[in-house]
Amino acid sequence: MPERTDAAGLPATRIVTILRYAGVTLLAALALVPLGLGDYARSIVAEVLLFCIFAMSLDLLLGFTGLISFGHAAFFGIGAYTVAVLGAQFGLHPLLGALVALVVAAFAAAVIGFFCIRASGVYFIMLTLAFAQLLHSVAFKWRAVTGGSDGLILRSLESGVTTYYVIFVAFLGVYFGLRRLIAAPLGQVFIGIRENETRMRAAGYATARYKLLSFVIAGCLGALSGALFALLNGFVSPAVLFWTLSGEGLIMLILGGMGTLVGPIVGAAVFIGLKHTVSTYSDHWEFVVGAIFIACVLFFKQGIYGWCREILVRGPRS
């Protein structure tokens, strides 16, 4: 029996092979970044990787569980400030601070999620936004601990190369961990809730508990990205808790494509790349990114990654 081919004339198995080889090549290139790039370029790649983690954590909520959060910056900020405060006030090593940040974020996500999951639709969105803005106000007002608008300076790791590889390993762990999670029965329950929560509830699933679990996992991963942000920059300010960071995460998802894991990576890379490239030439980089975002919404409804995958599978339209 001949192997099934698509409209572009490529066998389906060959498409999978191409994507796998592309992924392996990309990972190899990322592993060699410190050998081929200078300090500034390396820091940009590291920033892209940590925001890939942030976007993937948000994708677990929105793309796989169907929960739209405008307050995901709360967990990013919790991770960043936990590392900064423990380092500045108690001299704790940044890596140990990052581990503590995961515990703090899990507790905070459980408390915040307990209230948020009892709402749905726009009410859920507004609750997540309200909690994030509450934490932003705390960070802004509690100067004795957070430094207020001046922020906090923390000690970095031994070298920029060490910091890069810590972020790179964390990125690999989150990506492959989420792949296993989504393929597991728990991940399929999340997807079932996204598709039809009423049917899942009728089938006997305690959907509220599963949504809370998804919220906690996403919160921990968001805090991990915030902790890595603090390690990379050596500085934390209330901006890491502001709602615009949550909006940027949503833009990354929509640019790349939701519910794919690879999509958030593509979206984060495009967004951060455009931010640094365009801002070099103009102070109005938000206008350029906004125009590209509108174009993607209009013409690439599945995101950049979804569009590329569709072209690869179906071939270009005549």
Tell me the angle at which helices 207-233 and 73-90 cross, rounded to the nearest 10 degrees: 50
pLDDT at 315: 57
How far is 27 from 12, CA to CA, in rounded Å? 23
pLDDT at 196: 92
Instruction: Provide the residue ranges of all domains of the chain, joining segments of one domain with +.
Output: 39-245
SS3 of 75-129: HHHHHHHHHHHHHHHHCCCHHHHHHHHHHHHHHHHHHHHHHHCCCCCHHHHHHHH
pLDDT at 155: 76
pTM of the model: 0.91
The set of residues, in sequence order, having a beta carbon less than 8 Å from that of 316 and lying 6+ positions away, is 8
How many Cβ atoms from other residues are within 10 Å of residue 69's Cβ?
29
pLDDT at 2: 44
Asked whether 263 and 253 are in contact (CB, 8 A), the reply is yes
Angle subtended at Cα 56 by Cα 106 and Cα 149, rounded to the nearest 5 degrees: 65
pLDDT at 213: 96
pLDDT at 6: 46
pLDDT at 9: 47
The rounded average pLDDT for each run of 10 residues, N- to C-terminus, in the chain (318 residues) is 45 68 86 87 94 96 93 95 91 92 96 93 93 93 89 81 94 96 95 93 93 96 96 92 91 90 92 86 78 79 80 60
Torsions phi, psi of 315, nearest 5?
85, 160
Angle subtended at Cα 286 by Cα 123 and Cα 289, rounded to the nearest 5 degrees: 90
- CA distances to 130, 137, 151, 238 from 143, in Å: 21, 11, 9, 11
